[in-house]
Chains A and B, each alone.
Chain A
Amino acid sequence: MILDIIISGLINGSVYALLAIGFSLIYGAARIVNLAHTAFYMVASYCIYFATHKLGVHPVLAMLAAIILVTLIGLVCYQLFINPIREHEAAVLIATIAMAMAMQEIMLIIFTGDYLSVPSLIGGYLKIFGVKIAYQQLLTFGVALLILAGVWALLKKTRVGLAIRSTAQDREVANLMGMNESRVAMITMGISVGLAAFAGAVVVPLTVVNPHMWMHPLIFMLAIVVLGGLGSLKGSFVGAYILGFTEASVVFLIPLGAFLKGSVALSVMILVLLIRPEGLFGVAFEEER
């Protein structure tokens, strides 16, 4: 039981962390609340399904192709629909919701609403104290951690990372220091959507693929980001594991837990916010007046 909770919490937490960090990045650098973030994750899953089942491509190749393709789609969507209306905050929210809806409907039309699945990359399982752990689960966990480390290195060690971080701190000053603000936003959008696609790629062998699969992670991702503090990457990382473990323990410990997992996780978020309104690691943004 406890082992079940730990495994499921770690895996869910890592996937949520991937999603939440991508969301945080674009919010921090460009103040865009991208509610279509998890829709890109869904599209990536479908791309992988299509490549492996219909085209017979090797799964690893399919994943790489899906990540590149979805990143491109994300950039095109950004240029077409978000960039022209960026200064209207409410309009951006609606535009991203509409984008997510459009993607969901396109997937419904192409693939119908059936529940699809993609086979594991590696079969077999490990047994620890009588609990089965599939190698696929370990792989997902490992890859997710690897990508998170990669993002950290990108942000801390490269010039692009420096530009993203400084734009997140203060857009105007970053612009004055010679960083092309709109290009930074564009690059950040690419990285952010790429992370969403990565999350889709690592999670697709463990879950069922259907056009509505973006809704649940979206809610959790938003809760995590608020819990950790908007725009704070450390907060997103810690928040992801907090909510991942909360979700897992509610499912395993409480009868009818599957219905209540969302409620409990979101109640945790609200409790944290009551004590710290800016989230756990909230960056105090300059008061925009």
Chain B
Amino acid sequence: MGILGVYLRKIYTLFRGEVLVLPSRIVVFLFFLVLLFLPVVTQDLYLLRILILTSIFAILAASWDLLSGYTGQMNFGHALFFGVGAYTAALLNLHAHIPPYGSIPLGGLAAVLAGLVIGIPCLRLRGTYLALTTLAFPIILMGIVFAIPGITGGELGVSGLSRLSSSRLYDYYITVVLMLGLCTIMWKITDSKTGIIFHAIREDELAVRTSGINVTRYKLLAFSLSGFFAGISGGLYAHFMRIAGPSTLEVSMSFTVVIWAVFGGIVTIYGPVGAVFILFPLLEFFRFWPEFRMLLFAVVILLILLYMPNGILPWVRDKIEKECPRCKVRNVATRKTCRVCVAPLD
């Protein structure tokens, strides 16, 4: 009993010292808590459905940020990974009868392959060329999908997949826990040594190369990692909707991912995730005015970008926190002195 008390107190001190000191960490903590315990309060099927889809797209948006935000390889064809993941999972499930827990990771691996296939030609391109070239790949694949309706179902897609799990509640927990887990992994990756190299490649590729780092290998790594996470979200989507159709490859799908990520703030991982959790339910809310739905969506994005061109979440974060000028530790905006080095703030 005594031992347990000591550990509990230790955990509480850690919690107070590391989480409660910064409002952004409290928000993230509450976000985890609310998502995990929401079904205790309500089990409304419609609400759960929206949150499941939101979680799936949050993985997708974060994976775009991992590639395009961090390494600066503007990918305008992210729907390719999503579509490849969805179609692979669907075909494997339907023809080879692989259950979802097998077909979704395999879909992710197929998307890694797709990432390598498009990553290798794209190594020579940069900037706007890269953005506009990557836009082409999902369209090419979509043409192929339409041209061989025997395998892919053409316009109708592959339907009749097995369910993700037996009930909506389990679906919810599978997707939400996966989303929280995968996004944490992505955040950890970007925080690691690899992530710093990704950062450096975006800032100055030449300098990275002169430091003796194999840029090619890291770019391909970014393409495959991002492809893997996007492929998993594609597989989840296919199994949740029980259909993998050409809509997963559409140009608007690629654009939507970019909209989410830029809206939330790139090079953050938490930005795109937060943006999906703001924009996707907002779009559902706008369905009360069906004919103005997309118009309102577009106007919201235009207005937000006008005032916060770096994305909404970094803007909010800068309002409630400031960085210590001496030791670069973040502090609550209300503090007068830094919490670590006691240097006066601002």
Contact with A along B193-233 (1 / 0, CB 8 A): 00000000000101000000000000000000000000000
Contact with B along A242-270 (1 / 0, CB 8 A): 00000000000000100111111011011
Does B187 sit at the interface, judged by CB under 8 A? no
- Determine whether the beta carbon of B121 is less than 8 Å from that of A260: no
Q: How far is the CB of A231 from chain B (nearest CB, A)?
A: 9
Q: Residues of B contacting A93 with CB < 8 Å?
A: 131, 258, 262
- Determine whether the beta carbon of A256 is less than 8 Å from that of B147: yes
Does A277 sit at the interface, judged by CB under 8 A? yes
Q: Which of B124, B143, B306 contacts A84 (CB 8 A)?
A: B306
Stretch at the interface among A102-110, A129-137, A167-175: A102-110
- Determine whether the beta carbon of B305 is less than 8 Å from that of A223: no
Most buried by A among B125, B132, B137, B139: B132
Does B57 sit at the interface, judged by CB under 8 A? no
- Determine whether the beta carbon of B139 is less than 8 Å from that of A105: no
Contact with A along B126-155 (1 / 0, CB 8 A): 001101110111011111101100000000
Q: How far is the CB of A79 from chain B (nearest CB, A)?
A: 12
- Determine whether the beta carbon of A289 is less than 8 Å from that of B294: no
Kindly state the separation between the CA atoms of A94 and B141 in the bound complex, as whole angstroms: 24
With A105-B292, A223-B136 as given contacts, are A81 and B121 in contact (CB-CB < 8 Å)? no
Nearest-CB residue, chain B, relative to A275 = B124
Does A85 sit at the interface, judged by CB under 8 A? yes
The total of Cβ contacts below 8 Å across the A-B interface reads 124
B260-307 contacts to A, CB under 8 A, are 262-263, 266, 291-292, 294-295, 297-299, 301-302, 305-306
Given contacts A95-B301, A273-B121, 6 further A-B contacts (CB under 8 A): A94-B262, A94-B263, A99-B302, A102-B302, A260-B146, A273-B124
Kindly state the separation between the CA atoms of A105 and B294 in the bound complex, as whole angstroms: 7
- Determine whether the beta carbon of B140 is less than 8 Å from that of A263: yes
The majority secondary structure among interface residues of chain A is helix
Does B337 sit at the interface, judged by CB under 8 A? no
Does B173 sit at the interface, judged by CB under 8 A? no
- Determine whether the beta carbon of B129 is less than 8 Å from that of A81: no
Does A70 sit at the interface, judged by CB under 8 A? no
- Determine whether the beta carbon of B305 is less than 8 Å from that of A270: no
Kindly state the separation between the CA atoms of A33 and B121 in the bound complex, as whole angstroms: 22
- Determine whether the beta carbon of B292 is less than 8 Å from that of A266: no
Kindly state the separation between the CA atoms of A96 and B301 in the bound complex, as whole angstroms: 10
- Determine whether the beta carbon of B139 is less than 8 Å from that of A97: no
- Determine whether the beta carbon of B259 is less than 8 Å from that of A98: yes
Q: List 10 A-B contacts (CB under 8 A).
A: A90-B74, A97-B258, A98-B301, A101-B297, A108-B291, A109-B292, A223-B136, A226-B132, A261-B143, A274-B121
Does A88 sit at the interface, judged by CB under 8 A? yes
Kindly state the separation between the CA atoms of A259 and B146 in the bound complex, as whole angstroms: 6
Kindly state the separation between the CA atoms of A226 and B297 in the bound complex, as whole angstroms: 30
With A99-B302, A102-B302 as given contacts, are A109 and B295 in contact (CB-CB < 8 Å)? yes
Kindly state the separation between the CA atoms of A85 and B306 in the bound complex, as whole angstroms: 7
Q: Which of A102, A215, A262 contacts B299 (CB 8 A)?
A: A102
Kindly state the separation between the CA atoms of A97 and B206 in the bound complex, as whole angstroms: 31
Kindly state the separation between the CA atoms of A109 and B133 in the bound complex, as whole angstroms: 33
Most buried by A among B143, B147, B299: B143
Q: How far is the CB of B98 from chain A (nearest CB, A)?
A: 29
Q: Residues of A contacting B206 with CB < 8 Å?
A: 289
With A88-B309, A226-B133, A273-B121 as given contacts, are A102 and B146 in contact (CB-CB < 8 Å)? no
Kindly state the separation between the CA atoms of A226 and B129 in the bound complex, as whole angstroms: 6
